Chains A and B, each alone.
Chain A
């Protein structure tokens, strides 16, 4: 194998690595070295005459909605059939695969995916990469505080010098799912259904997720801090607040004959669930600050200056501004943060791609490198270890190409050369890990 393949995207290379970002709601599929995924599809499988099921959907009774072993594998297999043969149109036997996923993904799911890919599709190698680390590739920084606000939850993990700092993780179940629930609650409260010219009737049944997502995507936004404060206090005091929206009610066409009449206040109230602090005083903004508090003191300023916001839910209009404002306000006014974080200035990055594709783009960049090929889990390795994968929580398995077991998952070890006296420090870090 040539040691240096040449710069740029090789159209002449024989095997394009497949890059997958599997999320609970949507999956992004594509090839390495490209600037955008080929397709973004919902992570569902459809059966003839049956319902459309999200394969990774968790409900409150079990980690995943299926029996863990064969059913999950079968669903994953059906889903990957769709991915490889319908959307990407490749033969998976010839391509390596990189999967961008969350660091807190249950091991069972990861192993099920690996089993399906190796045994059924016979891919040559797989690499599971943490989303938060890959996001740093898209902005060319070593240290960043990555916030992933997606369907089920928001997860903050700091990345210091290309290493995800796992003990600084903060997560909360605040995401698109909770916004949908909030919209649904308000519709059940005040919304009306109207069938053609009949009088309007109140809504009694839960609307489908698709409709809720549509309403959220087309109409909702995150209000400004001052306005939000008024909304939140009005919720408790039940006093009406001044109307800022120019429309009292909106009419949403459900299908050809039914119309859904919803109050316009949904537009600004829905996303408040992300920012209002619950009983534990947790909101998306406090996650960032709590994570900072768990980090080493000398890195806090650097992390605060390099906030990276990813995830589809963060694409709501006004999200970034509100988050930065909240951070500033919280640090100023709340005692628990004022003491330790008052010197931090918060700055947010502008990645070159939309926030819901940042993880995918990072994986695409990483997959063009040779380190990816070296560190991938091959079929032989997988069989050797009886279907167990190396993981940050597994202490008995050595990742491939690693002499010593690092405390974190297999990750890229690129350290940016820094000029001058700092050079020696990064050198020692380098030699220790690459021994």
Chain B
């Protein structure tokens, strides 16, 4: 896929066991256990829910009771986008009190995307802006509730029976009592709590369930069955010409599973779903990696440990034409996001599962990359301070970004149109936030904090083999 920055070209391996890799912009970095993490191997936690339309937020418990639906935002049933409430004024006929026609504002909903509106299906305009629109309820809701009740009752009854049937000390019961227990049906006339009312209850009290409430006898009829004559025949309306635009599609039908609407003229607006804000946590050290803010209007994070803020980013700076078997030169750039000067060393790739179909010649010495300076863009850099760079290795140097040359020889066996992948490892230092923590505690800051050396495996897609005619 083409994107402006072509982030998918360079992949960093985040899982050593499975050699899974992703582009750096999609990875996170745990500064406590010093490893790259991807959203796959982090613990997702439910932080809060929010609606981007109405900008209201809910905590998780509340969201569960509201079924994750926003109270004020509605969704178009035709295109599944958000509906906006529009107001118009209508003139109603004069009332008996006054002779002048009264002007009222009424509200209707319309979709700015597909132009569907509540007026087109015949829903009346409402006089109040909010709280007036109703969602269609499932017509069989009472029956389903009854089924739920019934099965709960059945289970409870079974449990009580089982407790009753389990061997009770025989001394407590006479023979007649035992026979009575064995052969009497527990289902007496409705309403009579016979299980607990008879004389056995004393003996059974030790076995009786502790917090049982009164057992309402729930009976249910099995749902009715229809014979051939009762089942509705094929409606002869189907023989009429079909209008493809007047019937709903599968997606529209399944949008409201309880009431699956067949004709477009029956569509009704639905409450829109809220979105979830998640916080991510490292599984190994149990620290938070990402923690968003609660307010729905804010896109900032309380904790924001993304890899781009900590790990140097390698990108292809200048491509060149690739031909099978020919040596060509590329410029790769490395950007240092940290506030320390780092030294990057390149090492050849070890045995790996990824397919590498080109050989790469990497610079043998380390490359020093300057630190990230906020004010750098405002200060004019007249001349580069040190020209001691080896021109055969370093292509350019700008602030915290350095471009360096690599040579690549694709496999001679490749054909035009194949992607060329190279792999390498690179090593750099990482300075933790320990100095800052010490500073906050008021302790002595060491002169040079100890760096941690990190090694990453990187795979780069240099492009496609050009056909030899070009």
Q: Using a CB–CB distance below 8 Å, which chain A residues touch chain B?
A: 2-4, 6-9, 11, 16, 26, 28, 33, 35-41, 48-49, 70, 77, 84-86, 88-91, 93, 120, 137-141, 213-214, 217-219, 221-224, 244-247, 250-253, 267, 305-307, 317-318, 320-322, 324-325, 328, 345-354, 357, 361, 365-366, 368-371, 413-417, 419-420, 423-424, 431, 434
Cβ B274 vs Cβ A89 within 8 A:
yes
Among residues of A, the one whose C-beta sits closest to the C-beta of B61 is: A14
Q: Pick the 8 closest A-B CB pairs, nearest first.
A: A49-B1, A36-B258, A318-B234, A352-B140, A347-B225, A247-B241, A40-B254, A218-B247
Among residues of B, the one whose C-beta sits closest to the C-beta of A36 is: B258
Bound state CA distance, A89 and B156, in angstroms?
Answer: 32
CB proximity of B137 to chain A, nearest CB, Å: 9
CB proximity of A22 to chain B, nearest CB, Å: 15
Q: Using a CB–CB distance below 8 Å, which chain B residues touch chain A?
A: 1, 8, 18, 40, 43-46, 49, 63-65, 67-68, 138, 140-141, 143-145, 147-159, 162, 165, 183, 185-187, 209-213, 216, 220-228, 231-235, 238-242, 244-245, 247-250, 253-254, 257-258, 260, 273-276, 278
Chain B residues near A91 (CB, 8 Å)? Answer: 44-46
Among residues of B, the one whose C-beta sits closest to the C-beta of A267 is: B242
Bound state CA distance, A213 and B248, in angstroms?
Answer: 12
Chain B residues near A3 (CB, 8 Å)? Answer: 159, 209-212
Among residues of B, the one whose C-beta sits closest to the C-beta of A315 is: B260
Q: Would A369 and B45 be within 8 Å (CB), given that A38-B67, A253-B244, A353-B144 are in contact? A: no
Chain A residues near B245 (CB, 8 Å)? Answer: 253
Q: Of A219, A322, A414, which is within 8 A of B242 by CB?
A: A219
Chain B residues near A38 (CB, 8 Å)? Answer: 67-68
Bound state CA distance, A138 and B223, in angstroms?
Answer: 8
Q: Of A2, A7, A415, which is within 8 A of B149 by CB?
A: A7
Cβ B211 vs Cβ A4 within 8 A:
yes
Q: Would A347 and B227 be within 8 Å (CB), given that A4-B212, A89-B49, A434-B162 are in contact? A: yes
Q: Of A6, A89, A352, which is within 8 A of B276 by CB?
A: A89
Listed by A's residue number, 14 A-B pairs whose Cβ atoms lie within 8 Å are: A3-B210, A4-B209, A36-B138, A91-B46, A138-B223, A140-B150, A217-B247, A252-B244, A320-B231, A324-B228, A347-B227, A353-B138, A361-B144, A414-B155
CB proximity of B45 to chain A, nearest CB, Å: 6
Among residues of B, the one whose C-beta sits closest to the C-beta of A86 is: B276
Among residues of B, the one whose C-beta sits closest to the C-beta of A141 is: B222
Cβ B68 vs Cβ A77 within 8 A:
no
Given A8-B148, A414-B158, list of 9 further CB < 8 A pairs?
A: A7-B216, A141-B223, A245-B239, A345-B227, A347-B226, A348-B231, A350-B225, A357-B257, A417-B157
Bound state CA distance, A317 and B152, in angstroms?
Answer: 35
Among residues of A, the one whose C-beta sits closest to the C-beta of B183 is: A424
Cβ A89 vs Cβ B227 within 8 A:
no
Q: Would A4 and B213 be within 8 Å (CB), given that A305-B225, A353-B258, A416-B154 are in contact? A: yes
Bound state CA distance, A431 and B257, in angstroms?
Answer: 40
Cβ B278 vs Cβ A224 within 8 A:
no
Cβ A369 vs Cβ B238 within 8 A:
no
Chain A residues near B154 (CB, 8 Å)? Answer: 414, 416
Chain A residues near B233 (CB, 8 Å)? Answer: 224, 318, 321
Cβ B46 vs Cβ A139 within 8 A:
no
Cβ B231 vs Cβ A36 within 8 A:
no
Bound state CA distance, A39 and B258, in angstroms?
Answer: 10
Bound state CA distance, A352 and B226, in angstroms?
Answer: 14
Cβ B138 vs Cβ A35 within 8 A:
yes
Bound state CA distance, A305 and B276, in angstroms?
Answer: 47
Cβ B145 vs Cβ A8 within 8 A:
yes
Cβ B147 vs Cβ A138 within 8 A:
yes
Among residues of A, the one whose C-beta sits closest to the C-beta of B152 is: A7
Cβ B186 vs Cβ A417 within 8 A:
yes
Bound state CA distance, A246 and B44, in angstroms?
Answer: 56
Q: Would A353 and B221 be within 8 Å (CB), given that A4-B213, A244-B239 are in contact? A: no
Among residues of B, the one whose C-beta sits closest to the C-beta of A221 is: B238
Q: Of B8, B143, B242, which is within 8 A of A218 by CB?
A: B242
Bound state CA distance, A84 and B278, in angstroms?
Answer: 12
CB proximity of B222 to chain A, nearest CB, Å: 5
CB proximity of B295 to chain A, nearest CB, Å: 18
Cβ A35 vs Cβ B144 within 8 A:
yes
Cβ A431 vs Cβ B165 within 8 A:
yes
Among residues of B, the one whose C-beta sits closest to the C-beta of A122 is: B43
Bound state CA distance, A307 and B165, in angstroms?
Answer: 35
Q: Would A48 and B1 be within 8 Å (CB), given that A4-B212, A89-B46, A354-B260 are in contact? A: yes
Cβ A221 vs Cβ B234 within 8 A:
yes
Chain A residues near B187 (CB, 8 Å)? Answer: 417, 419
Cβ B158 vs Cβ A349 within 8 A:
no
Among residues of A, the one whose C-beta sits closest to the C-beta of B159 is: A3
Q: Would A321 and B257 be within 8 Å (CB), given that A35-B145, A267-B242 are in contact? A: no
Bound state CA distance, A318 and B231, in angstroms?
Answer: 9
Bound state CA distance, A139 and B233, in angstroms?
Answer: 22
CB proximity of A325 to chain B, nearest CB, Å: 6
Of B49, B67, B141, B238, the most chain A CB neighbours within 10 A belong to: B238
Among residues of A, the one whose C-beta sits closest to the C-beta of B274 is: A89
Chain A residues near B148 (CB, 8 Å)? Answer: 8-9, 33, 365, 368
Bound state CA distance, A6 and B257, in angstroms?
Answer: 27
Of A77, A307, A324, the most chain B CB neighbours within 10 A belong to: A324
Chain B residues near A317 (CB, 8 Å)? Answer: 234-235, 238
Cβ B234 vs Cβ A365 within 8 A:
no
